[in-house]
Structure 1
């Protein structure tokens, strides 16, 4: 069975978006190099340095499903039903859109546990990635995450949408990270200590 990992690109001061939900400079690393990494969305291209290409391939190479929150899904306009990771998407929501058939590669689930269970069925033994800060928080509280991955970028937002907030279950211990130094991003992978 594949692992469940989280991934976000985060500012040095811990934000995944500015107060207006803009990502601004967070994704500069996706265009900071000469190595082309294929995307599952023809409208999105990755041109990264060699180290970031290794990290990006590791993030997307074995992903069978992606779990996201409704807010991110709406901001991204459903990625036009083609998330860059190339996998089907499971959206955690309490209100399935009336026009849900517009996104045939997207499943809508009520609650994080149900979304992860659905993602496991879809992934067929491949990895599952979680890409929304609030959903990550809930999955960590439910002990559903195997690895926490962060692409840390050299920008300070000062305010915005935080990646981590208070964990309901208290402290969560992680193992020492695997570190990949890329151009415009430091890619960190922390296994969750069990």
Structure 2
């Protein structure tokens, strides 16, 4: 069985989005500053072009991801990514009520209304032996609080946003310890960091 992971591109002061959902043009410059193309699915996301160092890390991670877990807010905000998530895997959407225009699940989107545990369990079924990636923000916070998260990835970029949204939001049960970094990769305009969630004694 694969791992449950989360991650986000983050400013030096710890924000994955600035005030009023701003700052993405600065946070994601590294998606277009390199020579190696990584194809994307869906009609709303062009291919990304990153440095060779970033691609050597990101491409295998994408290939080893079997399903995603996101919230309804992101699903709506992106317009369902034009029909399929850019990572080209089935996306599990955690929501209070499924969209009226999606009466049934399909290979692109599965809707779960029973909470984060049920959403992750469904994503694990879909992913098989591959990893489940959980979107940052509320989904990542709920996973961490429920003890479901195994690893965290941070793409650290040299910008300060001053305020905004953090990776885990208003996290309860702090402090939470992490082990690592288990990997440090220096890309162009970004430093990739990987951490393991430290499990309580006896849970390994």
Asked if Structure 1 and Structure 2 have the same fold, meaning a TM-score greater than 0.5 normalized by the shorter chain, the answer is yes
RMSD over aligned Cα atoms: 1.7
SS of corresponding position for 1:137: helix
Question: Which stretches in structure 2 are left out of the alignment for 5+ residues?
Answer: 200-204
Mark the CA change 1:6 to 1:99 in structure 2 (over 3 Å): closer, same or farther: same
Relative to the length of structure 1, the TM-score reads: 0.93
How far 1:46 moved relative to its partner? 1.1
Relative to the length of structure 2, the TM-score reads: 0.89
Post-superposition CA distance 1:15-50 (Å, at most 9, x none) = 111222232211111101111122233542111101
Are residues 1:180 and 2:181 paired?
no
Post-superposition CA distance 1:144-169 (Å, at most 9, x none) = 01101111111111112222344322
Matching residue of 2:41: 40
How far 1:85 moved relative to its partner? 1.3
Are residues 1:107 and 2:110 paired?
yes
Alignment match of 2:95 (pick from 93, 96, 108): 93
SS of corresponding position for 1:78: helix
Matching residue of 1:2: 2
Mark the CA change 1:132 to 1:70 in structure 2 (over 3 Å): closer, same or farther: farther
Matching residue of 1:191: 196
Count of residues paired in the alignment? 194
Matching residue of 1:62: 64
Inter-partner Cα distance in structure 2 for 1:115 and 1:167:
19
Alignment match of 2:81 (pick from 79, 82, 88): 79
Are residues 1:149 and 2:150 paired?
no
